[in-house]
Amino acid sequence: MVPLIQSLVKKHLERLAAEDVNLDDFAPKVIEKAKALQERFSPFITINEKLASENMPRHVMKLPFSVKDNICTRGIRTTAGSKILEPYVPPFDATCIHQIKNAGGFVVGKTMMDEFGFGTFATNCAYGAPKNPIDPTRVCGGSSGGAACVAAAAEFPHIAIAQSTGGSITAPAAFTGTVGITPTYGRVSRWGLIDYANSMDRIGAIGKCVYDAALGLSIISGYDPMDSTSLNAPKTDYTALLGSEIKHLRVGVPVEYFGADVDESIKRNALDMIKGLESFGVTWEEVSLPSTKYAISAYYLIAMSEASTNLAKFCGLRYGMEGPLDGNYEQYFAQLRGKYFGEEAKRRIILGTYARMSGYRDAYYLKALKVRAKIIGEFRKAFGRVGVIATPSMPIIAPRFDEVKKLTPVENYAMDRMTVPSNLAGLPTISVPSGTSSGMPTGIQFIGNYEQEGTLVAVAGACEQV
């Protein structure tokens, strides 16, 4: 175990001791509590009931983690929320899972998610939908809804490992009143992740508080030669940055994120939080990110194009669901995918394939890439003036399940307008609670410059004090 991880584990155990947590036979007790949680809120697809077979001494398993079900876990079923992968049990651990186990962590279970990450509300999962612990008639947010549900409701020390492509950490964190960190693209290895869109996928952490999310990121981040997009940067103890000086920090408030399409109480809570940071010596100013209005269109063209390519490998021949070998390859391929892919997955495969076709690629996909470059340029310009950018995390509070059913696909996609721009740019973000509206939590999102996760942790820690 590297010295930094040793230090993190020591601090974690000291914290548990201070909270008077009984560590005797800790892991089995956590599993029993996870089962009770499942009965109430359905956050898991699979609970890991085989902890006795984990290749580590039971006495060191003091760090419970839940893991989003698109991250490979050796010996534990990994479905990505899809029926097409229902029987898949990986023979290996993703890099971030390997790091968790090296730190004495153990996997409690695999959490509910929209199929392959295709959703904003965690209602597109083939195995059910997690219920919001604050109001079970409402959604948890997606696509990492199960992760946020466990982070919010667990009655045991816990960190949820989640993943984001267009806002899938920020959205559920905001809807459940938890803290979600989405790191810089490449800060956490993607090796062992079942991809949605390779150029945007990022693995992060959700916790009850900033410390928990920062601890999770500290453990799973770091360079990985197995991932060609991994940043060659040293591991950092982000928990040590809580309480860091932010006296001269300047916060940018983009006018495009505070429009009429955002709930008034959410805007008010976010602005009140920004003003509350003035007590720490923070100043703020308005900034403009004019290409924000094009971000949704560019994101979905790029993401669906990449997704349609990634999902082509689920053909029923190597792993996952299979069928009787009737007809030719094309007939088998179409029949099996038609049966086991969900409606939203099919929609995105079709749209992504269309955008990449000869004759349309220049008009749609390549134009979306140009918009993405423009959005990145505007963020860089803004960070020449400010240290972080603050926005509402989501434009609405967590909707009820019956409200989500009434949304058209376009209305559903538009819910990502606060989170998609920073994901297109690969910038780190953190979402922290900013208050309540109609009894439900609201969130404020801070966007940092590349590799500035430490600054985001410090700002989020100050928000907790506010």
* Amino acid found at 389: I
Evaluate if residue 439 carries a pLDDT over 90: yes
Per residue in 17-74, pLDDT (tens digit) is 777 777 667 888 899 999 999 999 999 999 998 874 555 555 456 889 999 999 999 9
Q: Is 68 a residue of the active site? A: yes
- The answer to whether the bond into 228 is cis (omega within 30° of 0) is no
Main-chain phi, psi angles of 97, to 5 degrees: -70, -40
Tokens of 24: 């005797």
Per residue in 97-120, pLDDT (tens digit) is 999 998 888 999 999 999 999 999
| Distance separating alpha carbons of residues 153 and 174, to the nearest angstrom | 14
DSSP 62: -
Strands (E), 400-439: 429-437
**Residue given tokens 């085989």 in the structure block:** 50
pLDDT at 9: 77
Interval 305-313 mean pLDDT: 94
Sequence-separated (6 or more) residues with CB below 8 Å from residue 403:
none
pLDDT at 52: 47
Task: Return the number of other C-beta atoms located less than 10 Å from residue 371's C-beta.
Answer: 18
Residue 28's alpha-carbon distances to 14, 33, 391, 443, in angstroms, are 21, 9, 41, 34
- Active-site annotation holder among 42, 66, 82, 143: 143
- Active-site annotation holder among 42, 168, 189, 434: 168
Tokens of 85: 């992968």
pLDDT at 54: 56
Strands (E), 94-228: 105-111, 159-164, 179-182, 202-207
Q: Which of 110, 174, 129, 183 is CA-nearest to residue 148?
A: 174
Strands (E), 370-428: 388-392
| Distance separating alpha carbons of residues 337 and 359, to the nearest angstrom | 26
* Amino acid found at 234: P
Residue 358 pLDDT grade (very low, low, confident, very high; cuts 50, 70, 90): confident
pLDDT at 143: 97
| Distance separating alpha carbons of residues 175 and 145, to the nearest angstrom | 9
Q: Is 143 a residue of the active site? A: yes
Q: Is 265 a residue of the active site? A: no
| Distance separating alpha carbons of residues 50 and 32, to the nearest angstrom | 12
Residue 436 pLDDT grade (very low, low, confident, very high; cuts 50, 70, 90): very high
| Distance separating alpha carbons of residues 326 and 319, to the nearest angstrom | 18
Query: Edge-to-edge strand order for the sheet containing 388-392?
Result: 44-47, 105-111, 63-68, 159-164, 202-207, 179-182, 429-437, 440-448, 388-392, 250-254, 283-287
Residues in the chain: 466
Arithmetic mean of pLDDT over the chain = 93
6 versus 180: the higher-pLDDT residue is: 180
Task: Return the number of other C-beta atoms located less than 10 Å from residue 258's C-beta.
Answer: 18
Q: Which of 153, 147, 133 is CA-nearest to residue 65?
A: 147
Residue 382's alpha-carbon distances to 34, 53, 246, 250, 430, in angstroms, are 44, 51, 18, 11, 18
Tokens of 112: 């509910």
* Amino acid found at 195: D
Evaluate if residue 1 carries a pLDDT over 80: no
pLDDT at 6: 77
Q: Which of 269, 164, 263 is CA-nearest to residue 217?
A: 164
- Active-site annotation holder among 62, 68, 131, 208: 68
Tell me yes or no: is domain 3-240 CATH 3.90.1300.10: yes
Percent of the chain exceeding pLDDT 70 equals: 97
Sequence-separated (6 or more) residues with CB below 8 Å from residue 166:
200, 299, 303, 416, 419, 420, 423
Per residue in 364-380, pLDDT (tens digit) is 999 999 999 999 999 99
β-pairing verdict for 250-254 and 63-68: unpaired
HSE value, Cβ hemisphere, 13 Å, CA-based, for 159: 24
Sequence-separated (6 or more) residues with CB below 8 Å from residue 239:
8, 11, 211, 214, 215, 218, 457
Give the CA radius of gyration of the chain. 21
What residue ranges do the domains of the chain occupy? 3-240
Task: Return the number of other C-beta atoms located less than 10 Å from residue 363's C-beta.
Answer: 10
